[in-house]
Amino acid sequence: MTFAPSASYSQFVDEIEGTFADPEWTALGLVLYPSNFDYSDKRPAEYLVLEILPSDALTDSQWGGGTRIGGLLIIQIYIPVNTGSRRVYAIADNLDDVLQKKVLGYNIQTGGSSIQLKGNDPDNPALFRADYTVRFNSY
Amino acid sequence: MTSSLVHTGVAMAFDILQGMGLTQQFDFILNTDRTYDWDTGDVGETDTTISFQGVLEEINIEQETGTDASDMLENPRVKAIIDKTELNGVDYSRFDSFITDAISYSIVEFVDNQYSLEITGVQE
């Protein structure tokens, strides 16, 4: 039995962010920013923000000392207010196509997704926010 | 008098000033377009420049009551006065700085009276 090599946080982030450079994703035409990115001057009417939360890092000595990292991918979805929530679910379907139940490099495996409707964005009352969440683990 | 008449009058005034050689080119630099490369994590910035003819007014120390004179000497201020009809719908709030006479100025104030736009800059 072989095990995946240990990966650093940076390598995990590179692997996950690289997903959004794939043609399968770019063809969707959705505007996605990473967290900590200044987009306020030209904030579009609809966009997404990616947060990677590697919250469950542990070194598993029983399985050869490789580092296993698990956590959450949260994609904040912003759409115009007063337009209903159907657009949120349509975007979530797009996200499912590229993120849900996938196997990436370093044996990163993503699970099922969920959506939380968060309500109006306090920073911009013209926007409504929902969070799309996928749990991931590396084995 | 309707506002369109005033607009026409202001445009004529700027035309006359231009005919007298009293206007000059201002190159306004818009806030940069920022992009993120998902493959490498690199952040890219692209400047956009848009040019207008306008009148340059130098602001001297006496006009700036309450301003530290030494600061004014080290960082001269000028005002660019533009005919608003020339803007043609451009969102001037995205202007970040301007260049005129090969000198760069950071924009510190906009005054919009609906007919002309006064943009104050501090030499960089």
According to the model, what pLDDT value does residue B72 have?
58
According to the model, what pLDDT value does residue A60 have?
57
What HEC string does chain B produce? CCHHHHHHHHHHHHHHHHHCCCCEEEEEEEEEEEEECCCCCCEEEEEEEEEEEEEEEEECHHHCCCCCHHHHHHCCEEEEEEEHHHHCCCCHHHEEEEEECCEEEEEEEEEECCCEEEEEEEEC
Residue of A nearest to B30 (CA): A41
According to the model, what pLDDT value does residue A39 have?
62
CB contacts < 8 A, A to B, total 24
Read off the pLDDT of residues B21-77 as tens digits, 9 standing for 90 and up.
Answer: 889 999 999 877 788 999 999 988 878 899 999 999 988 655 555 655 555 566 788
| Separation in Å, CA of B52 to nearest CA in chain A | 22
Q: Which domain holds residue A106?
A: 9-35+44-138
Which among B31, B33, B36 has CB closest to A37? B36
* Residue A3 pLDDT level (bands cut at 50, 70, 90): very low
CB contact under 8 A, B38 and A17: yes
Mean pLDDT, rounded, of chain B: 84
Structure tokens at B64: 């700036």
| A42 Cβ under 8 Å from any chain B Cβ | yes
Which among B36, B39, B41 has CB closest to A33? B36
| Top-confidence range, A11-20, A52-61, A77-86, B13-22 | A77-86
CA distance A95 to A114: 11
Residues of A in contact with B31 (CB under 8 A): 41-42
| Separation in Å, CA of B36 to nearest CA in chain A | 7
Read off the pLDDT of residues A58-93 as tens digits, 9 standing for 90 and up.
Answer: 555 555 666 677 889 999 999 999 999 999 999 999
According to the model, what pLDDT value does residue A48 have?
95
Domain tally, chain A? 1
According to the model, what pLDDT value does residue A82 have?
92
Global pTM? 0.65
More confident call, A121 vs B69 = A121
Note the ipTM here. 0.80
Cα–Cα distances in Å, from A9 out to A12, A70, A75, B68? Answer: 5, 11, 19, 51
User: What kind and span of H or E run contains A12?
Assistant: helix A9-18
Residue of A nearest to B32 (CA): A41
Is position A2 within any domain? no
pLDDT at A53 over 50: yes
* Residue A4 pLDDT level (bands cut at 50, 70, 90): very low
Tell me the mean pLDDT in the region A90-101.
93
According to the model, what pLDDT value does residue A63 have?
57
According to the model, what pLDDT value does residue A17 have?
93
Residue A100 is part of a domain; what is its CATH number?
3.30.2000.20
Is position A3 within any domain? no
According to the model, what pLDDT value does residue A76 have?
97
Cα–Cα distances in Å, from A36 out to A44, A51, B36, B101, B112? Answer: 16, 9, 11, 37, 33
* Residue A2 pLDDT level (bands cut at 50, 70, 90): very low
Residues of A in contact with B38 (CB under 8 A): 17-21, 32
Whether the CA torsion B61, B62, B64, B66 is positive or negative: it is positive
Complete edge-to-edge strand list for the sheet that includes strand A103-104: A32-34, A47-53, A70-80, A124-138, A108-121, A103-104
| Separation in Å, CA of A62 to nearest CA in chain B | 34
- CATH code for the structural domain at B3-123: 2.40.10
pLDDT at A113 over 90: yes
Residues of B in contact with A34 (CB under 8 A): 36
Read off the pLDDT of residues B84-120 as tens digits, 9 standing for 90 and up.
Answer: 888 887 888 888 899 999 999 999 999 998 888 999 9
CB contact under 8 A, A18 and B41: no
Whether the CA torsion B18, B22, B25, B29 is positive or negative: it is negative
Structure tokens at B11: 């445009």
Structure tokens at B101: 């006479």
Which among B34, B37, B94 has CB closest to A39? B34
According to the model, what pLDDT value does residue B64 have?
58
